[in-house]
Every structure is written in structure tokens, then in C-alpha cells.
């Protein structure tokens, strides 16, 4: 598996993967706007073709894991974990001390993945994610503290 840092030209690929993973997918323009925004970092995992992505945003020494998805056929093969681990080391090299994320309380697979990589639950937002014909679901806020390292180039 290859994991590469995405460029603006990868917006269509990420949009396609995102649409395959989420009910409300991001358009190519949404992804391009994200990639062009300050502090944006995106990784794409590929086997024979792109199978997964992770998007994050870095502000000073904090980062947010904004979105991650692996296409159905590529799941349960370690792609998600590899993406989060690569993101973690990339952010660590850039001087990030803590990574936050929000995950729906009913997303057991994502919560298990984040837990495996070292994220811990830090708070909960009630009724955060709307659900069609059902009560909104809480968001769990998770954090991962990274050991201090001088940012590369400093």
C-alpha cells in the first residue's frame, strides 16, 4: 500500500472516495476548497487504485482530524489504521502536540480504530449529528496527545 500526500489535483479522487463512505459526500469543489485552505493536510492510500483518504487541519500546535474514509472493498485490511498512523507521524514532525476529532457515538468501527491508534474520549456533544427519521446522535470528542518534538526545520 502507498500513502501519499494529496495535492489540489487529487480533489476529484477524494470526493469520489468521500461520497462512497458518507451519506452526505463532499463535492469536488468542497474538497478543493478544503485542500486550498490554510493548514489543510490530506493523505490518500492506494493499492492498485486509491482506496482511502484522511483529511486534517493544523493550527499552530493543534490539529483536527476532519474526515477519514476507506472504500467498502478496502475495509478491514489496515488501511484506516495506516492512514491515521501516517497522519499522526506527519503532524508530530510538524510540531503538533494534540490531535482532536469528533465521531458519532454509534460509529463503533471508527471509535475502535481511533482507540487502537491511541485516541481517548475527552468529552461529548449531545444530539450533534442529525439522523434521518431518528433522534440525533451524540458526538464523542477524542484527543491524542503527541510527545513534544521540535518541528522540522526549526
Ligand X SMILES: CC(C)(COP(=O)(O)OP(=O)(O)OC[C@H]1O[C@@H](n2cnc3c(N)ncnc32)[C@H](O)[C@@H]1OP(=O)(O)O)[C@@H](O)C(=O)NCCC(=O)NCCS
Q: Does 116 bind ligand X (CB under 6 A)?
A: yes
Q: Determine which residue in the list 25, 78, 95, 118 makes contact with ligand X, applying CB under 6 A.
A: 78
Q: Determine which residue in the list 47, 109, 122, 123 makes contact with ligand X, applying CB under 6 A.
A: 109
Q: Determine which residue in the list 13, 21, 62, 138 makes contact with ligand X, applying CB under 6 A.
A: 21
Query: Does residue 153 contact residue 93 with C-beta atoms inside 8 Å?
Result: no
Q: Does 17 bind ligand X (CB under 6 A)?
A: no
Question: In whole angstroms, how large is the CA radius of gyration of the chain?
Answer: 15
Number of residues this chain uses to bind ligand X (CB under 6 A): 19
Contacts 24+ apart (CB under 8 A), 76-82: 78/1, 79/1, 79/45, 79/51, 79/52, 80/52, 80/113, 81/113, 81/116, 81/117, 82/1, 82/3, 82/45
Q: Does 13 bind ligand X (CB under 6 A)?
A: no
- DSSP-derived letter for residue 49 is S
Residue 129 annotated to the active site: no
Q: Determine which residue in the list 41, 80, 87, 92 makes contact with ligand X, applying CB under 6 A.
A: 80
CB atoms within 10 A of CB 49: 8
Minimum separation from the CB atom of position 133 to ligand X (A): 20
Tell me which of 62, 64, 102, 128 is the catalytic residue: 102
106 three-class SS: coil
Hey, which residues between 34 and 73 contact ligand X (CB under 6 A)? 68-70
Active site members: 102, 114
Give residues in contact with ligand X (CB under 6 A). Answer: 21, 68-70, 75-81, 103, 107-110, 112-113, 116
Amino acid at each position: 500500500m502507498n500513502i501519499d500526500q494529496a495535492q489540489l489535483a487529487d480533489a476529484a479522487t477524494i470526493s469520489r472516495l468521500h461520497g462512497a463512505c458518507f451519506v452526505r459526500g463532499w463535492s469536488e469543489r468542497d474538497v478543493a476548497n478544503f485542500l486550498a485552505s490554510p493548514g489543510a493536510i490530506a493523505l490518500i492510500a492506494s493499492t492498485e487504485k486509491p482506496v482511502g483518504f484522511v483529511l486534517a487541519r493544523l493550527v499552530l500546535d493543534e490539529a483536527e482530524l476532519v474526515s477519514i474514509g476507506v472504500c467498502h472493498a478496502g475495509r478491514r485490511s489496515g488501511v484506516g489504521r495506516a492512514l491515521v498512523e501516517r497522519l499522526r507521524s506527519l503532524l508530530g514532525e510538524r510540531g503538533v502536540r494534540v490531535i482532536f476529532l469528533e465521531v458519532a457515538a454509534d460509529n463503533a468501527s471508527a471509535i475502535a480504530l481511533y482507540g487502537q491508534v491511541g485516541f481517548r474520549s475527552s468529552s461529548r456533544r449531545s444530539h450533534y449529528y442529525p439522523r434521518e427519521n431518528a433522534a440525533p446522535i451524540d458526538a464523542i470528542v477524542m484527543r491524542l496527545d503527541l510527545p513534544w518534538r521540535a518541528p522540522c526545520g526549526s
